[in-house]
Amino acid sequence: MFKHYLKAARLRTLPLSISGIIVGSFIATSKGYFDLKILIFALLTTIGFQVLSNFANDYGDGVKGTDNKDRIGPERALQSGLISPKQMLTAIIITGIITFILALFLIFVAFGSSHFIYSATFLILGIASIAAAIKYTMGKNAYGYSGLGDIFVFLFFGVLSVCGTYFLYTKQLDYTIFLPAITIGLLSTGVLNLNNMRDIENDKNANKNTLVVKMGSKKAKNYHYIILILSFIFVTIYTFLNFKNPKQLLFLIAYLPILKHLIFVIKNNKPVDLDPELKKLALSTFLFAVLFGIGLIL
């Protein structure tokens, strides 16, 4: 049974989810701030959020009938019958509790018994993150079914992830930090948009009104080009404003597979062929986070 839950956790999504933590940590380190305990608990908490989100998506799409025989991509746990709705709901509750506890530890190691306002703020953000992970596809008012998924992914996996992580280390914010945070947010949104372009027909039939369903395939493609190009522009501006040596341009290597991906999407006419691109774009985002960070501290 454990292997079924492991499959439902979709471990392949984890590198993308921790990209914001990596970027925020590297920026803080480049400015002389680093704490291994914060890094460890930030990574564990984020992984908890991602697994919780994956379980909730599996449950939400499963009980709504969105995951069916026409769905493109790996078969989900509820869809295949490997895990029952009741079992998945239990897994969601347990994962939510564990993630909340990890978030409490993260807040404590970052702020200790002082900085009450900071602790309270991050506690609220932690609860909001858990709620966002669950409400994406679960319940009658699931925001993923109303075309709002892109906004939440951009905010939680980009802006909050990078800026929040940076603040945990430094207890301050620099306005320029929002530039790479926006980059990670846009790249993460690109992965979601790609997923929704792949699933457009099935989502349309299941009344899952993603942004792609609302826009249509042609506009969704244009949207995809725009957010990935903007991701490059924002990180380039950050690098220009904080330029010290050419090693900071290491992140350009990650944009080579992203450029190749863009060319593929331009030529693509079959949604099913977009499925392998999800992994490529997600790993390219992770590669960007690592190379961008290394370039800052070399």
Residue 42 to residue 103: CA distance in whole angstroms: 8
* Nearest alpha carbon to residue 164 among 236, 92, 106: 106
Residue 279 to residue 268: CA distance in whole angstroms: 16
pLDDT truncated to tens, each residue of the chain (298 aa)? 788 898 888 888 899 999 999 999 999 999 999 999 999 999 999 999 999 999 998 888 878 777 667 667 777 778 778 899 999 999 999 999 999 999 999 999 999 988 999 999 999 999 999 999 999 888 778 888 889 999 999 999 999 999 999 999 999 999 999 999 999 999 999 999 999 999 998 888 888 899 999 999 999 999 999 999 999 999 999 999 999 999 999 999 999 999 999 999 999 999 999 999 999 999 999 999 999 999 999 9
pLDDT at 79: 76
pLDDT at 291: 98
Name the pTM for this structure.
0.95
pLDDT at 2: 83
State the sign of the Cα–Cα–Cα–Cα dihedral 143, 145, 148, 153: positive
| CA distances for 81 relative to 13, 30, 111, 200, angstroms | 22, 48, 44, 24
Structure tokens at 104: 């409490």
Residue pair 134/89 in contact (Cβ under 8 Å)? The answer is no
pLDDT at 67: 67
pLDDT at 95: 97
Residue 13 to residue 31: CA distance in whole angstroms: 29
* Nearest alpha carbon to residue 20 among 162, 160, 144: 162
Structure tokens at 59: 């449950």
* Nearest alpha carbon to residue 65 among 227, 223, 202: 202
Residue 90 to residue 37: CA distance in whole angstroms: 29
Return the ∠ at Cα 151 (arms to 145 and 152), rounded to 5°. Answer: 80
pLDDT at 202: 86
DSSP one-letter code for 155: I
Q: Which residue has the tokens 């999800």?
A: 278
pLDDT at 71: 66
Helix (H, G, I), strand (E, B) or coil at 141: coil
- Domain containing 217 equals 2-297
What distance lies between CA 26 and its chain's CA centroid?
18
pLDDT at 70: 65
Written as one letter, the residue type at 204 is K
Q: What CATH number is associated with residue 185?
A: 1.10.600
* Total domains present in the chain: 1
